[in-house]
Amino acid sequence: MMDRRSFLGRSLAATGGTLLACREMGQADSASSQPVPGTISEAEIANAKFPEGFLWGMATASYQVEGAWNEDGKGESIWDRWTHTVGKIRGAGTGDVACDHYHLYPQDIAILKRLDQKSYRFSISWARIQPTGRGAVNHKGIDHYKRVMDALLEAGIRPFCTLYHWDLPQGLEDLGGWPNRDLAGYYADYAGILAKHLGDQIQVWAPFNMPWTFTNLGYGTGVFPPGRASYTDFLKAAHTVNLAQGEAFRSIKAASSKATVGSAYGMSPAYPATDREADKSAAARYNAMNNLYFLETAMHGKYPNAFVGGVPYEAMGFRAGDDKIMQVPLDWIGFHYYSRRFVSASAASAHGGGSLATETQDTGAAGNDLTQFTSVMPTQGPITDGGLEIWPRGIYDLVMQISRAYNNPIIEITESGCGYLDTPYDRDGGRVPDTRRIEFFRSELAELARAIADGARVRSFHAWSALDNFEWNDGYTQRYGLTYVDYRDQKRTVKDSGMWYGRVAAANRLVI
Ligand code: IFM
């Protein structure tokens, strides 16, 4: 039998590092030939190996945890405006207080340290640094993040900074938001400010969290702020973000010689719904649109083939020379894995649903005449309380696909996790017995270890999330944390999954 390292080596040679169609993503090449759930054995879990120095980590995002929405000179963001509008958020939740991480970060970092975490992925709120998104720096904002970085470094934890996790300053939305290409320049200024003031403390930067999601939901389907539903606005917003990613890469590098810049994309492995050629091409278009739309532009300066009739350059506002602005050699590739998709060819227009989880069940959305695919989240595996199918094998397929397509890059898993509503239970001594979350991570991490054994250069895994937090349109009705937050008094209780994950980090293997 061919060993796994040579398998990846041969695949790389065979493909020359170019993009693979979905049928090449391992043995699971279409919906009809999927393996059954739970195929990873206890022995494989027990023997799963992670490289020495593997960075076990957790992630959060500014709007979801910080609170302090109008303190220390912070400006209004589009999420402040959205959550302060009646009817937008389940249960009328807002991020005004959230987990109060803005004030409680010392105790949250102490928990990370206690759980042997080596990397903390967080995001910076642009409106704390430049209240309207342009102009003078708010030094109180910079000083806050400097203190957070000091606490992380003191705890021996690597700061992993996402520059933008969806909380655009409202002042920039008032100028037209991401469809206005001027935002690429404002964003590059913001990135340069961060690198100048925080570059001594932060070396790992990801410009955008899930750029496809916030441009599509914010401007294409309108279920996220600013709530616009226009496929042309989505195309324009996505193009500005691609330009901004390139410009930010350069301004970060110019301001900080130590900086490395990568990504934090959301990705879902896509399988054709049937063995029909039309569905295979549709799955490849899904992959190009939902997974590679911001990666291919950075690595190769061109849009991937997501459209039936070719890239709609005019509609997206593409200008001569934009390919050069977009192209930047990312130092590493970061992406999240939550769930997979079955994709079929479809010409019928369709619209996305109302939340982050359900939206992903139908990505044809309003631009379906251009992309001509429909995707669904399968329900073959167990479904979490957050509404997503559990499919551990997906992380293996995704990591191998990206490894092959981009010449075996360094990979950071920037998020993965599951929503379960377990709470502290007196009869368990006040513990939070979230055994389903432990099971989720055990199988998934064993699949990740399998990809590493097969030659993928994965150097970190960030569990989403360090804390229960504000889950966007779902408000506080979902709990993704490895630590429970009681929003009445902000009391933290590390869940059983958090304790387990801490033992895994300490042992660098999947302990029982
Ligand atoms: O909470 C979100 C996060 O902001 C982005 N990735 C998915 C998470 C769970 O839905």
| Residue 336: CATH number of its domain | 3.20.20.80
Residue 168 counted as domain residue: yes
85 C-beta neighbours (distance < 10 Å), count: 12
> What's the pLDDT band for 512 if we cut at 50, 70, 90?
confident
Question: Residues 297-325: pLDDT tens digits?
Answer: 999 999 999 999 999 999 999 999 999 99
Question: Residues 411-443: pLDDT tens digits?
Answer: 999 999 999 999 999 998 999 999 999 999 999
β-strands 410-416, 333-337: how paired? parallel
- The predicted structure's pLDDT at residue 33: 53
Residue 31 counted as domain residue: no
Question: Residues 199-238: pLDDT tens digits?
Answer: 999 999 999 999 999 999 999 999 999 999 999 999 999 9
Q: Relative to the CA of 61, which ligand 1 atom is closest?
A: 4
> What's the pLDDT band for 11 if we cut at 50, 70, 90?
very low
Q: Relative to the CA of 386, which ligand 1 atom is closest?
A: 10
- The predicted structure's pLDDT at residue 14: 31
User: Atom 1 (ligand 1): residue with closest C-alpha?
Assistant: 471
Cα 337 from chain centroid (whole Å): 8
Residue 1 counted as domain residue: no
Instruction: Tell me the sheet residues that pair with 59.
Output: 121, 464
Q: How far is the CA of 165 from the centre of ligand 1 (A)?
A: 10
Query: Is the pLDDT confidence value at 268 over 50?
Result: yes
User: Atom 2 (ligand 1): residue with closest C-alpha?
Assistant: 471
- The predicted structure's pLDDT at residue 34: 54
Q: How far is the CA of 239 from the centre of ligand 1 (A)?
A: 23
- The predicted structure's pLDDT at residue 12: 35
Whether 471 lines ligand 1, by a CB cut-off of 6 Å, is yes
Q: Relative to the CA of 338, which ligand 1 atom is closest?
A: 7
Whether 454 lines ligand 1, by a CB cut-off of 6 Å, is no
Whether 480 lines ligand 1, by a CB cut-off of 6 Å, is yes
Q: How far apart are CA 209 and CA 336, in angstroms?
A: 9
Averaged pLDDT, 115-140: 99
- How far, in Å, are 109, 205, 238, 463 from residue 414 at the CA level? 18, 11, 21, 8
Q: Relative to the CA of 209, which ligand 1 atom is closest?
A: 5
Nearest Cα to Cα of residue 294 among 218, 208, 409, 422:
208
Sequence-separated (6 or more) residues with CB below 8 Å from residue 349: 364, 366, 368, 369
Whether 212 lines ligand 1, by a CB cut-off of 6 Å, is no
Residue 129 counted as domain residue: yes
Q: How far apart are CA 24 and CA 16, in angstroms?
A: 14
Q: How far apart are CA 365 and CA 374, in angstroms?
A: 8
3-state secondary structure of 410: strand
3-state helix, strand, coil in the chain (%, to 5): 40, 15, 45
Q: How far is the CA of 251 from the centre of ligand 1 (A)?
A: 27
Averaged pLDDT, 470-487: 98
- The predicted structure's pLDDT at residue 25: 40
Whether 466 lines ligand 1, by a CB cut-off of 6 Å, is no
Averaged pLDDT, 376-405: 96
491 C-beta neighbours (distance < 10 Å), count: 10
Q: Relative to the CA of 472, which ligand 1 atom is closest?
A: 1
Q: How far is the CA of 33 from the centre of ligand 1 (A)?
A: 29
**Which domain covers residue 227, as residue numbers?**
9-25+39-507
Q: How far apart are CA 24 and CA 21, in angstroms?
A: 6
3-state secondary structure of 509: coil
Averaged pLDDT, 70-92: 98
Substitution candidate for ligand 1 out of 290, 480, 482 with most atoms within 8 A of CB: 480
Query: Is the pLDDT confidence value at 352 over 70?
Result: no
Q: How far is the CA of 301 from the centre of ligand 1 (A)?
A: 28
Residue 121 counted as domain residue: yes
Structural domain tally of the chain?
1
| Average predicted confidence (pLDDT) for the chain | 91
Q: Relative to the CA of 471, which ligand 1 atom is closest?
A: 1
Residue 512 counted as domain residue: no
Cα 313 from chain centroid (whole Å): 26
Question: What is the enclosing helix (H) or strand (E) of 250?
Answer: helix 231-255
Buried b (16+ CB within 10 A) or exposed e, 104-113: bbeebbebbb
Residue 65 counted as domain residue: yes
Instruction: Tell me the sheet residues that pair with 483.
Output: 494
Type of residue numbered 229: A
Structure tokens at 503: 């033992």
**Is 57 within 8 Å of 461 (Cβ atoms)?**
yes
In degrees to the nearest 10, what's the CA dihedral of 340, 343, 231, 78? -10
- The predicted structure's pLDDT at residue 291: 97
User: Atom 4 (ligand 1): residue with closest C-alpha?
Assistant: 61
Q: How far apart are CA 267 and CA 280, in angstroms?
A: 18
> What's the pLDDT band for 40 if we cut at 50, 70, 90?
confident
Whether 467 lines ligand 1, by a CB cut-off of 6 Å, is no
**Is 484 within 8 Å of 495 (Cβ atoms)?**
yes
**Is 471 within 8 Å of 66 (Cβ atoms)?**
no
Residue 30 counted as domain residue: no
